[in-house]
Amino acid sequence: MKRYRLRPALFGAAVALVTLTAACGDSNAPTTGLSDEQTTALALAVRDEVESSASGLSVAGNVDPLARAASAPSGALVTPCAAPSSTTDSDGDGIPDDASYVFTAANCTFTGYRGGTLTLSGGLEITDPTPHAAGFAYTATLTGITATFDASGQASDYTAIRSGLRSLDGTPTALTLTDSASVQRTTGLGTAAIVRNWTVGFAPATPAAINHTLPSGNFAVNGTMKWKRGAENYAITVTTKDSLQYDATCTGTPQKIKAGELRAAATYNGKDGYLRVVWSACDRDPAFVFVGS
């Protein structure tokens, strides 16, 4: 069975994976569900796509991946790494009437991100659907936004190219994000084509406020995700079993989910089952395992 070097944060998840999936086969027996390699590849993709969508719960999270981690929970938003093409904001809600952002490696390279370096490039357009009525609503178009994470050859290294649409709506006590994207994800385990269509419902612990960072709260991700990598072709249903708990007080890290469980169910290599992804602490990567039914 092939081996991959994991960062310490991922090592515990890998041990749990090997222990709990021994009966599910290895990379040489892909007809009995997900192999260890496949489980790792899919779990890391699910983790990153969930965090990408969670960032979409605020405009700041769309335009700067460190904005949510570097700001105080109730503080003003930080300056994004990409400047908007227009600063017109007719209703003063922090959402531009219509602005484009161009990410470049020169301005959007972040060292120390998850123990490595994250670089962004590509384009983003954000518009305010109600430019004369302050609120949380926005629409966004992602065009070839490329996120490259390099931790010197670790299993979590990846390049993800995302294009798609996002829309956020809601009130201070409930936000709903609709997020659809096509993703080309390349890792040391190969290149996968991902198409996801899901919603993210967020219930803040304290009322959210415009022009402020996202408060702590619970969110749930539900929808579908298609995965194709080589001969692998999975139609996945994503559900949240236990609400994901976002902790805004967990500063200095992009991993601010401290608890919760998500499941990605499909027929994997001829066997029904689900990928179980469990978050247990702030600044700690989730554990994951394939569970056959």
pLDDT, tens digit, 9 for 90 and up, residues 140-166 = 999 999 999 998 877 779 999 999 999
Taking residues 50-71, report their average pLDDT. 75
Structure confidence by residue, pLDDT tens digits, 180-204 = 999 999 998 789 999 999 999 999 9
pTM, 2 dp: 0.85
Give the whole-number percent of the chain exceeding pLDDT 70: 85
Contact present, 7 and 154 (Cβ < 8 Å): yes
pLDDT at res. 65: 64
Model confidence over 18-34: pLDDT tens digits? 333 333 333 344 457 99
Cα(111)–Cα(254) distance, integer angstroms: 12
Asked if 141 contacts 162 with a C-beta cutoff of 8 angstroms, the reply is no
Mean pLDDT of 281-286: 90
SS3 (DSSP) at 191: strand
**Average pLDDT over all residues of the chain:** 85
Backbone angles phi, psi at 58, to 5 degrees: -145, 155
- List, in sequence order, every residue forming a beta bridge with 145; answer none if it has no partner: 162
Mean pLDDT for the stretch of residues 218-229: 98
Structure tokens of 175?
Answer: 């936000």
